[in-house]
Amino acid sequence: MVTVQQVVFALFALMTVGGAVGVVAARKLFHAALWMILSFFGVAGLYILLEAPFFAALQLFIYIGGVAVLIVMAIMVTRGIMGPKEPVFTYAVGAAGTAFAFLVMLALFIVNVPAWMGSAPTGEVAPDGMRQLGRALVMPSAFLLPFEVASVLLLAVLVGALFIAREKE
Partner 1 sequence: MVPLSWYLLLSALLFAVGLYAVMARRNLIGMLMGLELMLNAINLTLIAFWRYLHPYNLGFQALVIFVLVVAASEAAVGLALILAVFRLRETEHVDELNLLRW
Partner 2 sequence: MTLDSMAWLILVPPVLSFWLIVLFFNRWKRLSHGIAIGAAFLSFLLAQGIVVAGLRMGGERLGEEPIHSLLPWLPTGTTVLSLGVWIDPLTVALLFFVSITVLAIFVYSVGYMHGDPKYSRFFAFISLFAFGMFGLVVADDLLMLFIFWEIMGLCSYLLIGFWYHKPSAYRAAVKAFLTTRIGDVFMLLGIAYLYSQTGTLSYDVLFRDHAVLHQLATTPSVIGGLSVAALAGLLLFAGTVGKSAQFPLHVWLPDAMEGPTPVSAMIHAATMVSAGVYLVIRAFPLLSVGLESAVGTPPMLAMGLIGAFTAFFAATIAVAQNDIKRVLAYSTISQLGYMIAALGVGAYVAAAFHLVAHAFFKALLFLGSGSVIVGMHHHQDMMEMGGLRKKMPITFWTFVAGGFALSGFPIITAGFWSKDEILAQAFHAAQSGSWLGWYVYLLLALGALLTAFYTMRQISLTFLGEPRSEHAEHAHETPWTMTVPLIVLAFFALTFGFVGVPEDFPLLGKLFGGNFFHHFVGATLMEEEAPLPLNWVPLTISIVFALGGLFLGWWIYGRKPLKAGERDPLERALGKLHTVLKNKYYVDEFYNWAFIQPTIRLGAWVYKWIDRGVIDGILHTAAAAAMASGRLFGWVDRVVINGGVDSAARGIGRMGDEGRRGLQTGLVQDYIFILAVFVILFVLVYFVRGAGL
Distance CA 36, CA 29 (A): 11
Q: Does 89 bind partner 2 (CB under 8 A)?
A: no
Interface pattern 98-137 for partner 2 (x via CB under 8 A): xx-xx--x--xx---x------------------------
Give residues 57-76 in contact with partner 1 (rule: CB under 8 A): 58, 62-63, 66-67, 70-71, 74-75
In angstroms, how far is CA 18 from the centroid of its own chain?
14
Q: How many residues bind partner 1 (CB under 8 A)?
A: 87
What are all long-range contacts of 77-80, with beta carbons under 8 Å and residues at least 24 apart?
Answer: 79/29
Q: How far is the CB of 41 from partner 1 (least distance, A)?
A: 11
**Of 84, 92, 23, 13, which Cα lies nearest the Cα of 49?**
13
Contact 59, 40 (CB under 8 A): yes
List residues near partner 2 by CB under 8 A: 90-91, 94-95, 98-99, 101-102, 105, 108-109, 113
